[in-house]
Structure 1
Amino acid sequence: MTTLWPTSYYTSEEHLALEQERIFERSWICAARSSDIAAPGSFVRVGVGRESVLLVRKKDGDVRALINLCRHRGAQLCLEDGGTFKNSIRCPYHGWTFNLDGHLVGAPFLHELPPETKERHLFTARAEEWLGYVWVNLDPTAPPLAEQVGPLLRKRFGDEDVPGNYGCDELRVAKEVTHEVRANWKILYENFCECYHCPTMHPEICQILPSWRTGYGTVSGPEGPKQDGSPLADGATGFSLSGKAAAPRLPGVPEKDARTFHGILLWPNVHLMFIPDHVMCMRFEPLGPERTRVVTQWLFHPDAISTPGFSPDDAAALVEVTAMEDFEACERVQAAAHSAYFEEFHTPHESLILEFRSWVHQILYPEAEGRAKETM
């Protein structure tokens, strides 16, 4: 069965605005690495949907997500990508000052201003930390992060807490690569929802994960996700271009996963890989209806990173070679989306795409669930 989407879903500014409003501004979004704001007062500026958000580490260790907009005349408070606030955030326009909770604590001639001025605190978003990342939700009424990711985790891994075995909170970013791809974020995300293209396009990764030559990866299969993961090829010791491990096995990884690849997609825009010696996180950020920023981070144990001669490049190279092949294919689909003849057909190998599309439609059109046209 194929769920058809009109081409405007890939090309329309208006449709992207709807997705920003109802998906990216109402879902939990993986926004930054917790270690980026480890010290009290440290902050990073991130984009969530169409909003600029300041993630600030408070003295008590909690993270506060503050909308980067002064409550006086609406100026952006901060233009830097990151840094450290001492005890407050001061707007450079008129000098209104807010504490790290976002409460207004000072303004020129405050005693002469209307009493309600003192209540003009910064707008805030919700923030939670999980897997060593800060997740942000602009919707104050949204359920906790666990309710968004829990069903996806259970379907992929069953009752086992596979991500918990990799100690993601303790890992550090050993390498980060950012690409801007000329394709809609959904085209890219759906590419990673299936491995039907792997035997055709990805000889490098199929050499390391031979089971992928069947057209099924780990996130989908003829009987659903492979909860046991995908075994490394005989002779391979790691998930890398050379087939060699880049570091010792992570401390919490059980023996049964010592030679196993696990992957999962966490809607709307996160792709995680769990490998014995490291974790990879890929995030998809829409920049326009036909442009997407893809941020990939490789996470290793700090002891491995500090070892003389350590390099993440071999492990990163396998993902980078594969990703560049994927990006080129996605750009071909995007270019064709302008054709009057554009249509899609999904094989059983691509069943996760249908689940993703169903989720998108439920979020975009809750009042008309199932609005997408279905054809056999």
Structure 2
Amino acid sequence: MIIDHLDEPLPGSSLLPTPSGVAYTDPEIFSREQSEIFEKLWNCVMRADSLSSAGEWKTVTIGREEIIVVRSRKKGIRAYFNVCAHRGMRVCTSGEGKNKTLQCGYHAWTYALEGDLAAAPNLTSMPDVDRQDYGLKPVHVREWLGYVWVCLAEEPPNFDEAVLGEVRTRFGEVESIDNYGIENLKLGESKTYDVAANWKLIIENFMECYHCATIHPELTEVIPEFADGLASQRMNGEVHGSEFGEEIKGFTVDGSASGFEELPRIAPDQDRKYYAITVKPQVFINTVPDHVIIHRMFPVSESRTTVVCDWLFLPEVIERDLPIEKSVELFHRVNQQDFEACEQTQPSMSSKAYSGGGALVPSEHHISEFHAWWSSQVAVSEHQTKVTV
């Protein structure tokens, strides 16, 4: 299978080409992305405080695998493949729960929250069975920004390089994002979107603002530079915060003041500014002076993606039940507008008219960095891209 992808401008043109439409529609390419990207890199899966006490667990699908994430009594948050070591049945058959142990419903093989095999019928008559070897297969876990991150690879990428490196690219230093104290914020609202579009279209949309004047009237009112097509994410690691309009009081749907305090540790150059980071492969971090918005993407198929968006606020905002509706509504509308555009784009990816791909204008050229990264992850050559699947 051939996918044309060039990383140099078309002759005589300021435009850069995109991958061809098949990259967004082919099930075999999607399967390769699942195995080579999502099953090998760090994925942000849930809020750590959503598992508040020992025994609480949730399941999540990463790539082609279902994972159990559980808060253990002795080792904090742990993660395992949701596969019984005996005959392979799902150990947890619902989305969440709370148990003292994890038990397979087929033959009652029972696992400690720390993963070891704890009990099974007639196990005492089989003293040669190693309870660790026949425990749940573990998944690598990290906690950062108050979220649980997992990696399914046997040898995960270095977290500091793979994840924190993305922050350095967009913020200049990790300490800059630390100013927002995200790990201490509380969830004010969470919305889940079922988007009928390929995950790459969603990332590409988030990385550029060439479309902002067309479909985001509320956002461009709050951040006027977005109307000029200038994205918060800049090319080659340029650190840039997008400034609020002069008359804008807050990052709300009507530009009015939010009614609650700014985050206490933000720096002067973070005041009245919006910053955005893409942490590949599936996280968007959006920061403003008084709250933070985090998107997590979970590709379901070549043409469908689940996106979970969290709005995070200071604990006292949630505890005092201060009104957050106007803050939530702004980016909820942005999400709806963006996802509708992606859904209207997806059908054209299989059109003959798009078989050779599209084009990136100069203000979108940093998306070519994402395309180059994607090509390298799925073993696509740098020029005249070829993928063998």
TM-score in terms of structure 2 length: 0.90
Residue 254 (structure 2) pairs with residue 242 (structure 1): yes
| Cα pair 1:177 1:295 within 8 Å, conserved | yes
Task: With a CA cutoff of 8 Å and minimum separation of 6, indicate the structure with the bigger relative contact order.
Answer: 2
Instruction: Tell me the residue number matched to 1:26.
Output: 40
Q: Report the alpha carbon displacement of residue 114 of structure 1 after superposing the two structures with TM.
A: 7.6
Letter in 2 for 1:290: S
Task: Report the Cα distance in structure 1 between the residues aligned to 2:244 and 2:17, rounded to whole angstroms.
Answer: 34
| Cα pair 1:156 1:226 within 8 Å, conserved | yes
Task: Report the Cα distance in structure 2 between the residues aligned to 1:253 and 1:85, rounded to whole angstroms.
Answer: 40
Q: Report the alpha carbon displacement of residue 115 of structure 1 after superposing the two structures with TM.
A: 2.3
Residue 341 (structure 2) pairs with residue 315 (structure 1): no
Residue 339 (structure 2) pairs with residue 339 (structure 1): no
| Cα pair 2:291 2:312 within 8 Å, conserved | yes
> What pairs with 1:69-80 in structure 2 (closer than 5 Å)?
69-80=83-94
Letter in 1 for 2:51: I
Over 3 Å counting, the alpha-carbon distance change for 1:228 and 1:5 in structure 2 is closer
Equivalent residue in structure 2 for 1:48, among 62, 85, 92? 62
> What pairs with 1:165-204 in structure 2 (closer than 5 Å)?
165-204=179-218
SS at match of 1:192: helix
Structure 1 residues 162-219: Cα deviation after superposition (integer angstroms, max 9, x where no partner):
2211111111111111111111111111111111111222121111001112211210
Over 3 Å counting, the alpha-carbon distance change for 1:109 and 1:60 in structure 2 is closer
Structure 1 residues 243-269: Cα deviation after superposition (integer angstroms, max 9, x where no partner):
124321112222332211111111111
Task: Report the Cα distance in structure 1 between the residues aligned to 2:288 and 2:326, rounded to whole angstroms.
Answer: 14
Instruction: Tell me the residue number matched to 1:7.
Output: 21
| Cα pair 1:98 1:106 within 8 Å, conserved | yes
Task: Report the Cα distance in structure 2 between the residues aligned to 1:99 and 1:130, rounded to whole angstroms.
Answer: 25
Instruction: Tell me the residue number matched to 1:287.
Output: 300
The alignment of Structure 1 onto Structure 2 pairs a total of residues equal to 368
Q: Report the alpha carbon displacement of residue 228 of structure 1 after superposing the two structures with TM.
A: 4.0
Task: Report the Cα distance in structure 2 between the residues aligned to 1:266 and 1:159, rounded to whole angstroms.
Answer: 14
> What pairs with 1:201-280 in structure 2 (closer than 5 Å)?
201-220=215-234, 224=236, 227-246=239-258, 247-280=260-293
Task: Report the Cα distance in structure 1 between the residues aligned to 2:350 and 2:382, rounded to whole angstroms.
Answer: 26
Task: Report the Cα distance in structure 2 between the residues aligned to 1:245 and 1:41, rounded to whole angstroms.
Answer: 41
Task: Report the Cα distance in structure 1 between the residues aligned to 2:254 and 2:174, rounded to whole angstroms.
Answer: 30
Instruction: Tell me the residue number matched to 2:113.
Output: 100
Query: Where does structure 2 lack aligned partners over 5 or more consecutive residues?
Result: 1-8, 10-15
Over 3 Å counting, the alpha-carbon distance change for 1:146 and 1:125 in structure 2 is same
Query: Where does structure 1 lack aligned partners over 5 or more consecutive residues?
Result: none
Residue 90 (structure 2) pairs with residue 65 (structure 1): no
Structure 1 residues 296-337: Cα deviation after superposition (integer angstroms, max 9, x where no partner):
1101111111224x1222112111222222112112211111
Q: CA RMSD in A?
A: 1.8
> What pairs with 1:361-376 in structure 2 (closer than 5 Å)?
361-365=375-379, 368-370=381-383, 372=385
| Cα pair 1:220 1:351 within 8 Å, conserved | no
| Cα pair 1:128 1:134 within 8 Å, conserved | yes
Task: Report the Cα distance in structure 2 between the residues aligned to 1:72 and 1:369, rounded to whole angstroms.
Answer: 44
Q: Report the alpha carbon displacement of residue 145 of structure 1 after superposing the two structures with TM.
A: 1.7
Task: Report the Cα distance in structure 1 between the residues aligned to 2:174 and 2:225, rounded to whole angstroms.
Answer: 22
Over 3 Å counting, the alpha-carbon distance change for 1:232 and 1:314 in structure 2 is same
| Cα pair 1:361 1:370 within 8 Å, conserved | no
Letter in 2 for 1:141: E
Over 3 Å counting, the alpha-carbon distance change for 1:61 and 1:306 in structure 2 is farther
Residue 148 (structure 2) pairs with residue 134 (structure 1): yes
| Cα pair 1:218 1:226 within 8 Å, conserved | no
Q: Report the alpha carbon displacement of residue 67 of structure 1 after superposing the two structures with TM.
A: 0.9
| Cα pair 2:169 2:238 within 8 Å, conserved | no
Task: Report the Cα distance in structure 2 between the residues aligned to 1:12 and 1:235, rounded to whole angstroms.
Answer: 47
